[in-house]
Structure formats: C-alpha cells, structure tokens
Structure 1
Amino acid sequence: MMSTSLFSALPPELICQVFESADDFSVVAALAQTARIFYHTWRENPTSICRAVAPRVFSNLTDAEQLLDMQEEAEAVSQSQGGREQKSIIRAKRLLSNARCVSAAGDNWASFCQIHESYERGEDPYMRPSEFARFEHAFYCVWTIGVMGSTPHLQGQASAFLDECSPRELCRLAELGDWAENFNGNDFGSSGLDFEDEVWKAGCDLVSKRWEAYMKQRRTISIPDFTPINFFAFFDHTQRYIKHIPDE
C-alpha cells in the first residue's frame, strides 16, 4: 500500500482527477478518508468532483439539480452562510439524500405495480430502466412543483412550470400524483420521504387540478384495462396510449 508520504508527493491536480473518475459518491467518500491530502483535495474541489461524478450516478441529473435549486431558493439560503466549497459539499449531500427518496419511491412503485404479471410484457416482463427513468422524471417534477407551490415567493414559478408541460407530460405527472396520494403506504424507511408533508400535498394538488382542467376541455382519453389501477404513463408497452394524447 502506498505510504502517506508518497500520497503527499502527488500533485493535487492528479488527486483531483482520481476523485473525478470515481464511479459513484461512495468511492468519493472512501477516497476522502484515504489520507489527509485526499481529504483536503475533496474539501477544496467538491464542485468539480461532484460535476464529474454526478452524471454517472443520476439518470435524471437535470431534474435532480432543478429540484435542488428550488429547495435552496425556497429556504432562501444566504450567500454569506459558509464558503463556496462548503456549500458545494452541502449541495452534494442533499442531492444524494433526494436521490435516496427517489429510489425508495421507485422500489415501492415497482412492488405495487407487479408489472411482470401484466399482459403484453413479452420476454422482459419486469420493470425496465426506461420505465424507472420515466417514473423518476415525473417524481422529480412533482416534487419540484410542490416546493414552488408551497413557497409563497415561488408560486408563480410553479404555475409557469405547469404552463410549459405538454398534455402528455401532465398525464405522467398526474399519474405519479395519483399513486403518491392514493396507492402506497407512505412507508419509505430511513429515506425521509413523506407524501403527507406540505410540499408533496401541494405538488400533487397543483398537478391534479391542472390535469383536470385539461381533461374538461378534451374528450375522455383511451386507457388500458390490463395494468394495475389502469396506470399506463410509465410502462413501455402502454406508451401507445400516451401517444393518443395530443402533444400540444
């Protein structure tokens, strides 16, 4: 094993590159504990390290960062609270905390749906990465809308966000909200996710009302009768029903 003195002789730029090549943040955490020089490199370069590692960890990084931005705005984080690098570390930790909530919700949703028992699943009946990706995108969006909708100075942004959603997107968000409100036990272990809190209630309510307003102006859409609770917005084999909705 390389001695501490040899670690100290490595250029900081090289150590930073080692961090940036990590597969995930558990590797980053392990590296930071390897030696003092590694710890200091992490503390001094969290922004560049997080930006390099995050795309390998998050399939919906843009959505995850959008939620994080809104959470910080909602809390009116003061620019004077701590240094820039300290804020980057806090931001990375929150990004991971949010991701644990998304993962817990995805597992719960998959367990509820039991989609592998559904009709028309073919040779790959279990929940697929593409289906989890759609679910996670909708999850982040409804959560973001909830943050904005439950924060007085951001409520206008919640409305603007929904204005930008196509009918197909609204359908997916509404189905996510329906599941969150009615079809889970709200038991997500240590993740901290709580669909009964103010933020999630606001998000689900805003999405539901916007979808209902859209539906009042349109004919009833065609939905499948061979999936759990007739859900269809996220599954590969039911995307044809989504395509029946005008993508205005």
Structure 2
Amino acid sequence: MSASLFSTLPPEIICRVFEFADDFSVVAALAQTARIFYHTWRENPISICQAVAPRVFSNLTDAERLLDVQEEAEAVNQSQDSCKQKSIIRAKRLLFNARCASAAAESWVSLCQIHECFDRGEDPHMRPSELARFERAFYRVWTIGVMGSAPHLQDQASAFLDQCSPRELCRLDELGTWATYFNENDFGSLGLDLHDEVWKTGCDLVSKRWMAYQEGRHGIAAPDYTPLNFFAFFDNTQRYLDLIQDE
C-alpha cells in the first residue's frame, strides 16, 4: 500500500495494526512509516503499549508498578501536563525502564558466566526464568528506591517491604549487593546510574530489612559453586531459598 493510501484507513484500523506488533521495535518502525501512523501512535500510546507490552515484558506488573510510583513521586512536576502528554511520557518511560532492566541483566549475565559453573545440567547458559527473576528484583529495588527517596512515599516503601516474603527479601538483597558492589556502573549513554540517590536508597532499605530478618537466625548455607556465591536467581539453586523460614 502506498503512503498516499494510508490516509484513507480509519484511525481505529491503524491503531489495531500497532497493537498486533510483535515488539516495540516494530511499533517504532510503524510510527515512521507515514504521517498518519505517527499521529496514531501519538494519539494512542497507552492502548498500544498495553497491547504490546504483555508480549515483551516478563514482569509487566512490576514494570507498571514502578511507573506508577515514578509518576506519584513526580506528581507536582507533571500536574501541568495534558492528558495526552502524560500518556506519551508514560509510554516512553516504560520503554526506558525496560531498556535499563535489560542492560542490567546483560551486565549481570556477563559477570556471572554461569555456563562455566557446575550443576547446570544440559542447559548451562542463563535461562529466561533466571533473567525474569533478576529483572523482577531489579524493578522492585528500583521501586523501593523511588519510594524511599520521596518524603511523601516513604511510608509506602516500608509497607512494600512488609509485604515481601523472606525469600523475596533474599532476592532483593542479592540484587542490591550486585548493584552496589559487583558492577562497573557503565551503561553508556543509557542514563542508568546504580550509584545515584534512588538506587542507593533502595539498596540500603532492602539491606536493612534483610539484616533485620536474619538477626537471631542461623545463616543460610549458600552454595560455594556459583559465581560470587550468588544463588537467588538461578534455577539450580532455588532449593537453597526453600531453606529460608517464613516469619
């Protein structure tokens, strides 16, 4: 179909084309196809993102929670934005946060070199389930950091941590340990800074809560055959998390 014929399509049809995109790279390509496609994307970013996101994100609930908290933390600054502008900002931030989570996961995979470790079975390389656990913890520690850095949301940070099971706290603490001590914090022009105030706050709050849980309890006998003794995200070491007692 030539570009001149796109203008004859109803906007609802064009929007549906966007919504059936496999991922956001296809959405970006469609938006550059013709002016009518670009305007459709600008008019319907939320509905398009909601349709495409479940096919892209393994942790969509956590990604959307982070978005909600970021918006609440910046509510005063965004109060003058139009509804359409807020929708566009939200869609762009969702994609930015996802790129950050992906970049962090790549850095973690590069550090771990898990395929060189023992007890990995027939599939020694990092698995989708392991990446999903890591990215879930990444979104959650980031969310806690945003809450803890905003005075009017600090009570929510405490309540969020209250809802985390001891096993989840262990995962969040391991993510915080990696973010604080075991990465070079070199994400190029992406804009991710794991040593900024938000991330320091999130890691600190998680660490304190995990230490409070451990006080008076026997330590976990973590495996000694995994990279840097990390174990919270790997499939073959989930049995160690089962040793963590509930409250």
User: Partner residue of 1:165?
Assistant: 164
Q: Which moved more, 1:33-42 or 1:153-162?
A: 33-42
Structure 2: runs of 5+ lacking an equivalent: none
Return the offset for 1:78: 5.4
Residue type matched to 1:102 in 2? A
Return the offset for 1:82: 3.0
Change (3 A) 1:225 1:101: same
**Is contact 1:146-1:204 (8 Å) kept?**
yes
User: Partner residue of 2:22?
Assistant: 23
In 2, the alpha carbon distance for the partners of 1:100 and 1:38 equals 24
User: Partner residue of 1:233?
Assistant: 232
Change (3 A) 1:77 1:100: farther
In 1, the alpha carbon distance for the partners of 2:76 and 2:94 equals 16
Give the ranges of 4+ consecutive aligned residues of structure 1 lying more than 6 Å apart after TM superposition: none
1:113 aligns with 2:107: no
User: Partner residue of 1:63?
Assistant: 62
In 1, the alpha carbon distance for the partners of 2:100 and 2:129 equals 19
In 2, the alpha carbon distance for the partners of 1:115 and 1:8 equals 52
| Alignment TM-score, normalising by the size of structure 1 | 0.95
Aligned pair count reads 247
Q: Give CA-to-partner distance per residue, 1:45-77, whole Å, 9 cap, x none.
A: 222111101111211111111111111111125
User: Partner residue of 2:49?
Assistant: 50
**Is contact 1:186-1:194 (8 Å) kept?**
yes
User: Partner residue of 1:188?
Assistant: 187
In 2, the alpha carbon distance for the partners of 1:193 and 1:5 equals 41
Return the offset for 1:79: 6.0
User: Partner residue of 2:36?
Assistant: 37
Return the offset for 1:187: 1.0
Residue aligned with 2:121, SS: coil
Q: Give CA-to-partner distance per residue, 1:82-131, whole Å, 9 cap, x none.
A: 32222111111111111111111101111111111111011100111000
Once superposed, what is the RMSD of the aligned Cα atoms? 1.3
Identity %: 78
**Is contact 1:44-1:85 (8 Å) kept?**
yes
Structure 1: runs of 5+ lacking an equivalent: none
In 1, the alpha carbon distance for the partners of 2:132 and 2:36 equals 38
Residue aligned with 1:9, SS: coil
Return the offset for 1:3: 2.3
Residue aligned with 2:96, SS: helix
In 1, the alpha carbon distance for the partners of 2:183 and 2:42 equals 40
Residue aligned with 2:54, SS: helix
User: Partner residue of 1:129?
Assistant: 128
